[in-house]
């Protein structure tokens, strides 16, 4: 087993959710909060989520007040509660096989833990060993090192036991702050700025789920 513990991002790494859930939720909220303004494009939404990150996008780019952020949060929750994203083909099998081999699956995401647990149970038939979601608060969300450090503590893991898989920079920054390996999920979008940064700074870059699966499950 190359890595005993896989620390998986959720949105646009394991499930395809931003185009169908998260971005439409933001567009809906901004129609009320910023009527008359040109809405964010999907590419802008993903690029800003990449850098400076979602929270900074809301505060510094969209300049939402605390009250407006709470409104956007409620709109987002309404979307994530009623819509279940599909896993990328091959990922449920990868997750189940890794666990059957004795591996650990943890999720570190900017989605909420209850929705992540629901998605895994409905689409994979298994539960992650540990989930760190949006509800933790900003100081303990990625790119904070807290989730990875807590995973290593709880499961008594060394740095070489852990691989973080993510499609965006906050996951990369989290992995680097803990000195663990990082793999970039290159299958969800093809924005040049993101692709080139990840290829340059990741330990591994995978263009497809099949490529990642072959790497991680190779005996």
Cα gap 60→122, rounded to integer Å? 36
**Helix/strand/coil for 178:** helix
H helices of the chain, in order, are: 23-33, 42-50, 54-56, 66-82, 91-100, 113-123, 146-155, 169-178, 192-201, 209-217
Residue pLDDT, tens place only, 88-146: 999 999 999 999 999 999 999 999 999 999 999 999 999 999 999 999 988 999 999 99
Query: Dihedral of the CA atoms 195, 177, 8, 192 (nearest 10)?
Result: -10
Residue pLDDT, tens place only, 158-212: 999 999 999 999 999 999 999 999 999 999 888 999 999 999 999 999 999 999 9
- What lies within 8 Å, CB to CB, of 174 at 6+ separation is 108, 142, 143, 144, 145, 147, 148, 164, 166
Is the Cβ–Cβ distance between 15 and 115 less than 8 Å?
A: no
């Amino acid at each position: 087993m190359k890595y005993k513990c896989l620390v998986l991002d959720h949105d646009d790494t394991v499930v395809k959710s931003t185009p169908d859930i998260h971005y439409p939720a933001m567009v809906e909220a901004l129609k009320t909060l910023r009527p008359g303004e040109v809405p964010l494009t999907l590419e802008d939404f993903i690029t800003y989520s990449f850098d400076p990150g979602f929270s900074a996008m809301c505060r510094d780019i969209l300049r939402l007040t605390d009250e407006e952020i709470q409104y956007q949060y409620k709109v987002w929750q309404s979307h994530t509660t009623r819509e279940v994203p599909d896993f990328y083909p091959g990922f449920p099998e990868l997750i189940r096989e890794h666990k059957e081999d004795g591996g650990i699956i943890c999720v570190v995401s900017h989605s909420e833990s209850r929705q992540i647990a629901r998605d895994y149970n409905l689409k994979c038939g298994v539960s992650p060993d540990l989930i760190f979601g949006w509800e933790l608060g900003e100081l303990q969300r990625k790119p904070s090192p807290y989730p990875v450090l807590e995973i290593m503590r709880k499961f008594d893991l060394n740095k070489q036991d852990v691989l973080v898989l993510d499609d965006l920079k906050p996951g990369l920054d989290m992995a680097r702050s803990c000195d663990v390996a990082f793999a970039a999920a290159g299958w969800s979008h093809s924005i040049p700025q993101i692709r080139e940064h990840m290829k340059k700074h990741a330990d591994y870059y995978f263009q497809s789920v099949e490529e990642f699966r072959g790497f991680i499950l190779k005996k």
